[in-house]
Structure 1
Amino acid sequence: MAKVAIVGCGAMGSVYAALMVDAGHEVHAVTLWPDHAAAMDKNGLRCEGKSGDRTVPIHGTTTTDGIGICDLVIVATKAFDVEAAAKSCALLIGQHTVVQTIQNGLGSPEIAATVIDPDRIAIGVVGGFGASMRGPGHVHHNGMEMIRFGAFAGLPTQALQASAKIWESAGFKVALFTDVKQMVWEKLIMNVTFSGSCCTTGLTIGEVMADPDAWRVARGCAEEAIAVAMASGITLDVGDPIEHIRKLGGKIPDARPSMLLDWNAKRRCEIDAINGSIPRLGKPLGVPTPVNDTVVGIVKARERAMLLQG
């Protein structure tokens, strides 16, 4: 049994937490949502979907106070909350603790490494879940497609493998990568395709792929990301990248990416870390990114209006 803290126990974090508790691990669920923490404490955490339907007893909390040293710390917050989350992890990290950052987009491990010893950090990417909150203490997910980890800096291979075994014991299929740029970008092209396009249209992944106009925008976002990856010397070992994206998307047609879920819940989204990363990297490389530029502009304008309204 391992001691695990999940810092940022929203939809995705709650899926991780429920399955790890079910596997016999001691899991502490840290969330900024007081009603979610209270519901988990009182009634347990219900997780339904691809992995089945279970309700597990778990300690939900809004702070890391009193948890103590953990074997594994999973930072599963939104990208813009990573710095604060990393600072809150100080008392959770011991000599042998592995800290896994799992965010969409680019830049989060680098932010965490300004606070946490880089040699304790593993970069993680997940995909094909389509997780959403059904209510406090209740999460649903559409799939369990991709779990990948790699060392950010000098994390020993043995420690990385030990952390992977915790996930595997909970039913996740894990792949370890030495080329972390490849690992991150193979997920990023999927995020870039559907995050902005679903958020701006309100459509599910399957609906975007089925609608010619929506797919033209989504595919344009993908093609620009692929072009930036090629210009950056990034390896994408996925065959035809567009067919790869369509295949993965076809496995979770009813899923709504987290960016759309955040918009529906009137929360700030991660457009800068996802679609926004493509123009940011493409400009110095001379790679034009007009589709992503447009999608980012639309999402940010809508978001500003929404946040101003309350």
Structure 2
Amino acid sequence: MAKVAIVGCGAMGSVYAGLMAHAGHEVYGVTLWPDHAAAIQQKGLRVSGISGDKTMRLAAASTTTDGIGVCDLVIIATKAFDVQAAASAALSLIGPCTVIQTIQNGVGSPDTAAQVLPANQMAVGVVGGYGASVPEPGHAHHNGFEVTWFAKYAGLSDEQMEDSADVWRSSGFQVALHDDVRSMVWKKLIMNVAFSGTSCATGLTIGQILANENAWKVARACSEEAVAVCQAQGIDLGLADPIAHVQNLGGKIPNARPSMLLDSLAGRHGEIDAINGAISRLGAELGVPTPVNDVVVAIVKAKESLISKR
């Protein structure tokens, strides 16, 4: 049994927390949502979806890391824009043998965390095909868990890498370990850029985007631009057909609404800067045109300007 802290126990983090607790691990959930923490404390954490429907008690759920103490595994599962604050809050959870996993959409979050946390204890995580949401406080639902990948950030030992992966495997996740962290991250990112901004702009699910000629035209172009940016950096995706890879993963969770759309519907700002915005930013630096991502970013930011006025 491992002592695990999930810093960022939102939709995805709650799936991790619930299934790890169900497997017998000592799990602490830290979330920015007070009503979610209170519901978990009072009634337990319900996880429904492809993994079944079960309610588990966590060791604790709160809005701070106070009183948790040093853990075996710390998973930072916040939004990209909250990583720096989460890393600082996680310092009290880190001992000399603690493994830290950062799991965010887009690029750059591990570097942000490494400014605060010991880089030689860090692994980078990529997850996809979950389609996770929080239908109500204390309840997380997920449509799948197609991708659960990890790679070392810096000097993490092979033994620590395997031990941390075993926590996930024992909880029902199919884990793959990768040697090339950049290739691993970009395999996920080319899917994120296809569906995240497009879904937020249109309100469509992943399956609806794939089935709609106009929406897929936008999504595909966003992904193709991301592949071009990836190639300009000399990153080998190891995929014979990157767009087929995107279609295949997306097709496995047709009913899912990406987190960027869910955030918009809930009146929250999303991760457009870390996903489609990253393609625009890197494209400008590398001299790679990204006109479709540029427009999608502008549309989403226009929508978010209304959120800030509410």
Aligned twin of 2:22: 22
Provide the rounded CA distance (Å) in 2 between the counterparts of 1:94 and 1:244.
Answer: 39
Provide the rounded CA distance (Å) in 2 between the counterparts of 1:152 and 1:97.
Answer: 14
Aligned twin of 2:10: 10
Aligned twin of 2:51: 51
Provide the rounded CA distance (Å) in 2 between the counterparts of 1:285 and 1:9.
Answer: 36
Provide the rounded CA distance (Å) in 1 between the counterparts of 2:305 and 2:101.
Answer: 31
Residues 11 and 132 in structure 2, CA contact (< 8 A), matched pair in contact too:
yes
User: Cα offset for 1:279?
Assistant: 1.3
User: Cα offset for 1:238?
Assistant: 2.6
Q: Deviations over 1:115-156 (max 9, x none)?
A: 001111110000000000010100100001000111111111
Query: Which SS does the other structure have where 2:105 is aligned?
Result: coil
Matches within 5 A, 1:214-225: 214-225=215-226
Provide the rounded CA distance (Å) in 1 between the counterparts of 2:247 and 2:22.
Answer: 32
User: Cα offset for 1:159?
Assistant: 0.7
Matched, 1:169 2:170: yes
Q: Tell me the amino acid that sits aligned with residue 63 of structure 1.
A: T
User: Cα offset for 1:254?
Assistant: 0.3
Residues 126 and 184 in structure 2, CA contact (< 8 A), matched pair in contact too:
yes
Provide the rounded CA distance (Å) in 2 between the counterparts of 1:274 and 1:197.
Answer: 11
How high is the TM-score relative to the length of structure 1?
A: 0.99
Matches within 5 A, 1:95-244: 95-244=96-245
Identity %: 63
Residues 103 and 127 in structure 2, CA contact (< 8 A), matched pair in contact too:
yes
How high is the TM-score relative to the length of structure 2?
A: 0.99
Matches within 5 A, 1:74-93: 74-93=75-94
Provide the rounded CA distance (Å) in 1 between the counterparts of 2:35 and 2:183.
Answer: 38
Gaps of 5+ in 1: none
Q: Which runs of 4+ in 1 moved over 6 A?
A: none
Gaps of 5+ in 2: none
User: Cα offset for 1:284?
Assistant: 2.2
Provide the rounded CA distance (Å) in 2 between the counterparts of 1:253 and 1:17.
Answer: 24
Q: Deviations over 1:10-66 (max 9, x none)?
A: 000000001000100000000111111111011000000010000001121110000
User: Cα offset for 1:158?
Assistant: 1.1
